[in-house]
A and B are shown apart, each in its own frame.
Chain A
Amino acid sequence: MDVHKRFASGAFALDGLSLSVAPGEVLVLLGTSGSGKTTALKTLNRLVRPERGTVSVLGRDVESWDPIALRRSIGYVIQEVGLLPHLTIAENVEMVPRLLGWEAPRRAARARELLALAGLDADRFAPLRPRQLSGGERQRVGLARALAADPPLLLMDEPFGALDPLTRRRLQDEFRDLQRRLGKTVVLVTHDVPEALRLGDRVAVMAAGRVVQAGTPSEIRDQPRPGFVQEFVAAALP
């Protein structure tokens, strides 16, 4: 992608951002709040449309996609609020297959499979509602839902935020194993430096709507660009 996006105020949310992600790769957008990382993520499923520039997904300009079809071919994981509060866990996980018009038995089987994949007991969790789950369990459900229609691309917005450190660490490990096993392409947004370095194949550090440094985790850790990146990384790592 190579985009500009202005806020209504006129300030740039994204300013000449240029990034690409290879199939099967995990790209992490790392930055403080307000750096434009979530806005950049949302250009990929057209929740945000840049004023200039192009965004391509699966080899096609998103503007040439039907936005509904585009979103249904992308798994989307959002922190906390992402689950629909009035629906059961099973109904949440089955949502995209339902929108795609799958038959009910096939949807139910898929939901069970994915809940198990996400480490949840399907019998126990399927009939519950999101508020009856812990934060970690909700994040697992969010991941299961994003994978339901087997999309080649996953967008994850702070998927492990708001979790206690132990749960977060366990979920991060499980996610990395799962990602390697399934070979999904992932774009993940976080403000957490250790998380970015642990999960990313490549990490793009963002500030003020721009990428200030992109590289492998070891490049970011060992050769941070002087200035913002160096400070940001030094502050987060002991």
Chain B
Amino acid sequence: MLSFLAERRAELGLLTAQHVVLVLLSTALAVVLGVPLGILMTRRRGLARPLLALAGVLQTIPSLALFGFLIPLPVVGGIGARIAVIALVLYALLPILRNTYTGILQVDPAVVEAATGLGMTDSQRLRIVELPLALPVILAGVRIAAVVSVGTATIAAAVGAGGLGTYVFRGLATVDTRLILAGAVPAALLALAFDGLLARVERSPRPGRAAGVLAVLALVTLMAAGLARPARSGQRVVVVGSKNFTEQVVLGEMLAALLEDRGLAVDRRLNLGGTQLCHEAVRAGQIDVYVEYTGTALTDILKRPAGGDRAAVLREIREAYAPLGLRVGEPLGFNNTFALVVRPDTSRRLGLIRISDVARHADTLRVGLFGEFLERADGLPGLMKAYGFRLAVPPTEMDLGLLYQALLADRVDVVVGSATDGLIAANGLVVLEDDRHYFPPYDAVPVMHAGHLDAHPGLEAAVSALAGRVDEDAMRRLNYAVDSQHRAPAAVAREFLRSAGLLAR
């Protein structure tokens, strides 16, 4: 574990710094927004209940759902740090709002009356008496907000905003516990550090002064972070995106390496939180290219019925994507379709070669799958209908990463995976043939923001160098190298490109 961390020292430092900046920025904005609103609520009591209720509701929205709402919005939407900060501010608002309000209301009414009797105006009373006396309570709210932000800031990685969540998500995608811990443990330590620091401010004999010092420190940190950001002058950078699972990260690294090899500067926004996010981001031009699957584009993004052969689906997508400002490149050469996978001994014993063979054993076979497959338009209900069988044993839902372990341990007989899962090749597993062509084709295709192609001469050419060069077998080997051998996606991608003769340098 130590050497694992030592290798990643520089990256870990960068991610931690991003994390701290996200927390500082969002907490600062929540204070700037929440304290005046809290004060307003003490002056207009009628506002208190609805505002607190609203802030409470905001806190209960799951973060990915919140991103789902925010990403398509015009000005604020998209991917990156901005949207992450907006979400974090919305989460941090409740404790600050509530503590400002109650902090001011709990000031002894006799003291408030004395201040009025001395001839203070409302704003003088607020500034000289109420805010100073409410400060410890307000600071307690800020402390809660900051600590909670450290935890929730891990979700920033889902929208390409970096932070320690990058390791957590990458670890989850590649089933690598060490990576998850490399993100989670520093985040926990950060939370403790923020908590300790703010607790000291809260209990200091001069909380006002201590809070001021802290605010200045936070501001200086943010300004330093702003200055440290690479200047966006000169040559524009090509932004490469990917979804949050191993294959996507490897493909993203492949595209990035190809572009860099041709002298283009690349910004990697890998591990973005899902199909919809990548699609919105490439439409908005916040990423320039990512790899999509034709079947997913057809059913998930365009919401059209599955059907048609590979060429027809590709044509349909190209036509539908053009008006959206998107260019669909040439297929990379593999079809990442859903795969019903069995152990070789099961295949031999039961004569399972094609999916239609399943019908004969539908009363005994134990099936393992991930939850989404029960719901999808191209999932299990449609599959059973198309092949005319019903499973007697209810299928077992489990995490994608656990499916193959269950299969190899003989806990289930069939798992629903992906055709390019690395563990298929590594364990000599058998993929049942979709003999009735139930699944639409899921050919991997690069999707590019058309409006940016002129600004990046060479982008399209570099991407098209991959056309037809990655078959299912190659993709399985690459996935296996990352998932099972725990090799770095970037190294695996580069090695493949070099052996395929795609890198000039």
- Residues of A that sit less than 8 Å from B by CB: 42, 45, 47, 68-72, 76, 78, 81-87, 95-96, 99, 145
- B108:A95 contact, CB within 8 angstroms: no
- B116:A71 contact, CB within 8 angstroms: yes
- B119:A69 contact, CB within 8 angstroms: yes
B113 at the interface (CB under 8 A from A): yes
Q: Which of A45, A47, A86 has the most CB of B within 10 A?
A: A86
Encoded as 1 (CB less than 8 Å from any A CB) or 0, chain B from 121 to 140 comes to 10010001100110000000
- B117:A99 contact, CB within 8 angstroms: no
Known contacts A85-B133, A86-B133; is A47 also within 8 Å of B119 by CB? no
A81-B110, A84-B114, A86-B129 provided; 20 other pairs, C-beta below 8 A?
Answer: A42-B117, A47-B116, A69-B119, A70-B119, A71-B117, A71-B118, A71-B119, A72-B119, A76-B117, A78-B110, A81-B108, A81-B111, A82-B114, A83-B114, A84-B111, A84-B129, A86-B133, A95-B128, A99-B118, A145-B118
- Across-interface contacts of A96 in B (CB, < 8 A): 118-119
- How many A-B pairs with Cβ below 8 Å? 48
- A99:B133 contact, CB within 8 angstroms: no
- Across-interface contacts of B108 in A (CB, < 8 A): 81
**Alpha-carbon distance between A107 and B117 when the two chains are bound, in angstroms:** 19
- A45:B117 contact, CB within 8 angstroms: yes
B120 at the interface (CB under 8 A from A): yes
**Alpha-carbon distance between A85 and B114 when the two chains are bound, in angstroms:** 11
**Alpha-carbon distance between A99 and B119 when the two chains are bound, in angstroms:** 8
B64 at the interface (CB under 8 A from A): no
- Across-interface contacts of B111 in A (CB, < 8 A): 81, 84-85
- A84:B115 contact, CB within 8 angstroms: yes
- Across-interface contacts of A82 in B (CB, < 8 A): 114
- B121:A47 contact, CB within 8 angstroms: no
**Alpha-carbon distance between A78 and B129 when the two chains are bound, in angstroms:** 16
**Alpha-carbon distance between A72 and B116 when the two chains are bound, in angstroms:** 10
Q: Which 6 A-B pairs have the closest CB atoms?
A: A71-B119, A72-B119, A81-B110, A76-B117, A82-B114, A86-B132
**Alpha-carbon distance between A81 and B111 when the two chains are bound, in angstroms:** 6
**Alpha-carbon distance between A95 and B118 when the two chains are bound, in angstroms:** 8
**Alpha-carbon distance between A4 and B359 when the two chains are bound, in angstroms:** 93
Closest to A96 in B: B118
| Listed A/B pairs (20) with beta-carbon separation below 8 Å | A42-B117, A68-B119, A71-B116, A71-B118, A71-B119, A78-B110, A81-B108, A81-B110, A81-B114, A83-B114, A84-B111, A84-B114, A84-B128, A85-B111, A85-B133, A86-B132, A95-B128, A96-B119, A99-B119, A99-B120
- Across-interface contacts of B118 in A (CB, < 8 A): 71-72, 76, 95-96, 99, 145
- Across-interface contacts of A76 in B (CB, < 8 A): 114, 117-118
**Alpha-carbon distance between A78 and B112 when the two chains are bound, in angstroms:** 12
- A47:B113 contact, CB within 8 angstroms: yes
Chain B nearest Cβ from A111, distance in angstroms: 14
Which one of B110, B113, B124, B132 lies within 8 Å of A99 (CB-CB)? Answer: B124
Q: Which of B108, B111, B115 has the most CB of A within 10 A?
A: B111
Encoded as 1 (CB less than 8 Å from any A CB) or 0, chain B from 302 to 338 comes to 0000000000000000000000000000000000000
- Across-interface contacts of A84 in B (CB, < 8 A): 111, 114-115, 128-129
Q: Which of B110, B117, B120, B128 has the most CB of A within 10 A?
A: B117
**Alpha-carbon distance between A42 and B113 when the two chains are bound, in angstroms:** 10
Chain A nearest Cβ from B110, distance in angstroms: 4
Q: Which of B114, B120, B124, B133 has the most CB of A within 10 A?
A: B114
- Across-interface contacts of A71 in B (CB, < 8 A): 116-119
**Alpha-carbon distance between A71 and B129 when the two chains are bound, in angstroms:** 17
Closest to A71 in B: B119
Chain A nearest Cβ from B255, distance in angstroms: 60
Chain B nearest Cβ from A166, distance in angstroms: 26
Closest to A83 in B: B114
- Across-interface contacts of A87 in B (CB, < 8 A): 128
Chain B nearest Cβ from A106, distance in angstroms: 18
- Across-interface contacts of B124 in A (CB, < 8 A): 99
